[in-house]
Structures are given as C-alpha cells and as structure tokens.
Amino acid sequence: MHVGAATTLVRLIGTGARWAGRVFSPGAGMRPGKRPRGTVERANRAARVLVDRMGDPSGEGWFGVGGSAAAARYGDFYATSTAVHAAVRVRADAVGRPPFKVHEVGPGGVEMPVEPGHPLQALLDRPNPFWTPAELWRATETYLSLWGAAFWGLERDEAGTVIELWPLRPDRVRVLPDETAYVRGFVYEHAGKRVAYLPEEIVWFRHFNPVDEFSGASAVAPSRAAVEMASSALLFNRSFFANSATPSDLAITTDETPTDEQVAEFYERWEARFSGPGRAHRPIVLSRGMDAKRLGITHREMEFIEALKWSVEEVSRAFGVPKAFLGDLQEATLANINAEERFLWRNTIVPELRLLEDAVNRTLAPLFTTPGGPELRARFDLGVIEALQESENERVDRLVKLVNAGVLTVNEVRAGRGLGPVDWGDRPVERKRDRVAPA
C-alpha cells in the first residue's frame, strides 16, 4: 500500500487491530471544501466522501452514543472476576468452534455451498494477516459478552473491495445516530485521535438494549453488583490474611483516658509486635484496666463462601452459562453435565450464532454479491458440534414420522434442510411399503 500525505496507514497502538483511516484530532476545525486539520485519509477511495456525509468532526454530532466510562469498566471484570472470565471464555470458545460457510441461495431458497476460493469465503477464512477465523470470532463474542456490542472495521483496497476484517474495541466506538438514515456513521476514539467510518464500512453486532437502541446490552450489567461484592470480599480476605489474620475491627478499651503520646506509643508497640506474617499469633498482653473487644462480625457470620457461590450463580444466569462450566461441580454428574452442555448450546450459543450470522449477512455478504447473481448467505456449520448431534438425530426421527404420517412430503423436508428436490418427492407417503425408515 502506498504511504503518502493522502493515503497513510494509521496504526493505533494497544487497540489489538490496525486501520487505514481518516483520523480527526479533537477540536479540529473545518471550512467548506477544505480537508480538516489533523486528517489522514483512508487508503480506500470510498471514504473520500466521509466528511461530506458525516459533517464537521468538531461538532456535537460527532460525540454520538457509546464509549462511556461505565462501559469501559465492564472490560475490567474479565481480568478481575473469575466467574465473568470463565463465562466469557466458555461462550467465546464455543462461538469459535463451528466453521463459517458461505452459500448461494438458489430457486426456492435452496442453499448451495460456494465454490472454493470464493472472495467472501476467502475473506472469512483469512480475515487479516494476523488473525485466524477462530480468533476473530472469539474476540467478537468476548466483546459482545462484556459490552453487548462488537464492531468489525472493513479495510478496502484501492478498488473498494473489502480485503481485511478488524475487530474494534466497543468501548472506544461511538455510534452517530441520524434522523433519516438511522445511523450516520461510527467514530473510533483512542489516544486523542478519531477514526471515522461510514455505515457500510462497519459490521455492527449488538444485543438489543431496551433503554438505548444504539448501545448494546451487556451481560455484566445485571450481575455487576454480585460480581463487585465477590471482588470486595476477596480483597477483604486478602487484606485480613496479609495482616496476620488480625481483625482490623479490634477495639482496645481502658478505664483511664490516655494522652496522645500514650496512644502513639501503644500503636508503635502494637505494630512492632504483631505486624507481618512472621509475628502472627503472638499473645496479647494488656495493662490493668484495658480490654480488647470485636466491633464487627466474624468471618463465619459474614458467610464469605456463600456470597461467592451466589456471585457465581448470578453470573451463570446473566451469561446463560450453566454453573458446571464455571467450575462449580458440587452437583455435577455425567448425566447432568451432558444435559447442561446441550442446554448451553441450544439456549445460549445457537441463538448467539444466529445473531452473528444475521449481522454478517446484512452488511458484509451484499458487498460480494454480483449484479444479477444469486444472494449470498453465510452460516455456521453446526454439524461438527457433538452436543447437538443427539438433538439432530431426534429431529430426523420427528421428520421421518411426519413424512410417514403424510403431514410433509420428502421434498418439503429436503427444502427445509437446504437440499434440492427429487422427482418422486412431491407425493405423500401413504402405503406401508413406501414408508421411510427412521435414522
């Protein structure tokens, strides 16, 4: 890629991605017909109309929706909460497992896999020089789980063809609503710089937020209080044991009123005798008229273990991940582990995969559709997921029964499976010798 004043590759260090983009410095002014100061144009030609379509970057409209401090805090829970980390990792690893395949939609809605080397399939198989498809999907699901939204920045070549996909940190992306077009664009903000994207240059994934439709609904939000309570309990325990398990709420009473000098001397002697693990469990010797009392409640009364268990349960509910997958194996058996794995896939992962598919098919797939050519549709191949195989067999048995009962024809079943019709498949099965054998 040529690097010059007009086409410069912008690398934002620490973002986990790179973009060739138009960058605006905060407060940069712009006169009509002039390029704003501090601007670096995108390498692709399509973004040359960016300023005209999105307006003055110094205006209020550029502040958009998203990128709040509260949302940024959600990412910290991945590093500080064991339960949140486990739940996000389980979901991200699951989403990264099934292959993502592109199909052409033929007559009657029949989907056929594209030929090897198709541009869209090649892009999804190698999203950029540094990321594998599984890594891209894991990052996308991690962002969705923590922030309720995820964004792919589309990098184009000089001809305008999308050649790379880069995940963007959601807490740094602002959505610019528009009264007529719904979304005017997106702005990525980091290190005092702004990278602007047109709507067609972003693949936007999000969980619906009933409070703000332009911001995703994070799974951390409803469990935040429980997670913070567990973190505070762990920090309290760490401080307790770091101080030789000596309670900080210990009160020393005396019959006399000590002077300030006597109080200071007492503290010095106390620290010298009991401070640090090497001086733990030494006996306390008090003078006549002095007494030691606990002001707070004991660890047993605080029920720390129960509080931590409750935090795991809240995270399990919010993220849709069974407790056994968060390390709580107290009630786990082989039978219920298998049942919980099927529950995870059917009720959490498969709906999430459909959401991801819809976003790609809405924004990215149409960019590779040729005029007059078939519609392109990308789907995850769930045939490789062991936890869904039993349910697939049950589904086949049900379809066989419906065919044998004359409710469905063979061609109707084949159409539902994305297969083409057969000559004999339109007549209902009536005679016993025509019945289809179950799988």
**What three-state secondary structure class fits 128?**
strand
In DSSP notation, 395-413 reads HHHHHHHHHHTTSS-HHHH
Can you give the pLDDT at residue 352? Answer: 97
- pLDDT bucket at 151, cuts 50 / 70 / 90: very high
Contacts with 384 (C-beta within 8 Å, 6 or more apart), sequence order: 97, 98, 99
Q: Which range (41-55, 243-257, 337-351, 377-391) has the least confidence?
A: 41-55
Can you give the pLDDT at residue 108? Answer: 81
What is the SS3 assignment for 176-219? EEECCCEEEEEEEEECCEEEEECHHHEEEEECCCCCCCCCCCCC
- pLDDT bucket at 288, cuts 50 / 70 / 90: confident
Can you give the pLDDT at residue 279? Answer: 58
Asked if residue 101 has pLDDT above 80, the reply is yes
CB 403 within 8 A of CB 431: no
- Condensed to tens digits (0 to 9), the pLDDT of residues 222-260 reads 887 777 776 666 666 666 656 555 555 667 777 778 888
Asked if residue 167 has pLDDT above 90, the reply is yes
Asked if residue 285 has pLDDT above 80, the reply is no
Q: Which range (168-172, 262-266, 422-426) has the least confidence?
A: 262-266
- Condensed to tens digits (0 to 9), the pLDDT of residues 55-67 reads 544 444 444 566 5
Q: Which range (33-42, 47-56, 402-411) has the least confidence?
A: 33-42
Higher pLDDT, 178 or 138: 138
- Condensed to tens digits (0 to 9), the pLDDT of residues 14-45 reads 333 343 344 443 333 333 334 333 333 344 43
Q: How far apart are CA 380 and CA 384, in angstroms?
A: 10
